[in-house]
Amino acid sequence: MESTHELTGSMLSEALPYIQRFAGKIVVVKYGGNALAGSSDVDAASTFARDIALMHAVGIKPVVVHGGGPQISALMERLGKKPEFRNGLRVTDQETIEIASMVLLGTVNPQLVSAINVHGARAVGVSGQDAGLLQVTQRDPELGFVGDIHSVDPTVLLSAINDNSIPVVAT
């Protein structure tokens, strides 16, 4: 059986080519709401946050993009609003967009930012709406506020990265 030191050394040896390849580069990491859901969500978030902090520590510049679909649905149901989906897309009226904002910006984003910060990195929360980051067009009026991204202005992200921070983007 391998000792902890042997296992750590082995993992670092395997990671070295990736560290060398991506050091100094911006890497977008998607963390979906389903990864946050479940009984071990605290452990999953902590492990994810540790990995993001490690990436940052070795010179990789992570940008975390997250959702929160299951958490949005759970709050909708607690508030007496039934989530509606069409072809896998949430029908999003004004009330639903407000609930989504509460979940993403009031719960999920701050939790991820905090979890990353606990591991020694400096993460900052960002909304897709901040500083014109994401420009979208409505996909289908029947879906409400569901849209497709047609452009990204990375200025706010680059500012955070240049400040040695990790942007955590709620989408």
The CATH number of the domain holding residue 125 is 3.40.1160.10
Residue 15, in any domain of the structure: no
Residue 136, in any domain of the structure: yes
The distance in angstroms from the start CA to the end CA of the chain is: 43
DSSP assignment, residue 139? Answer: S
Residue 17, in any domain of the structure: no
pLDDT at 37 over 80: no
Residue 4, in any domain of the structure: no
pLDDT digits (tens, 9 = 90+) for 52-73: 999 999 999 999 999 999 999 9
Per-position DSSP letters for 55-87, written without gaps between them: HHHTT-EEEEEE--HHHHHHHHHHTT----EET
Residue 14, in any domain of the structure: no
Give residue 63's domain range. 27-170
Burial class (CB in 10 A: 0-12, 13-18, 19+), 115: buried
Mean pLDDT of the chain: 92
DSSP assignment, residue 129? Answer: T
pLDDT digits (tens, 9 = 90+) for 104-147: 999 999 999 999 999 999 999 999 999 999 999 999 999 999 99
Contact (Cβ atoms closer than 8 angstroms) between residue 79 and residue 99: yes
Residue 1, in any domain of the structure: no
Q: How many Å is the Cα radius of gyration of the chain?
A: 18
Structural domain total, the chain: 1
pLDDT at 39 over 50: no
pLDDT at 168 over 60: yes
Residue 20, in any domain of the structure: no
Residue 149, in any domain of the structure: yes
pTM, rounded to two decimals: 0.90
Pairwise CA distance, residues 72 & 85, whole Å: 13
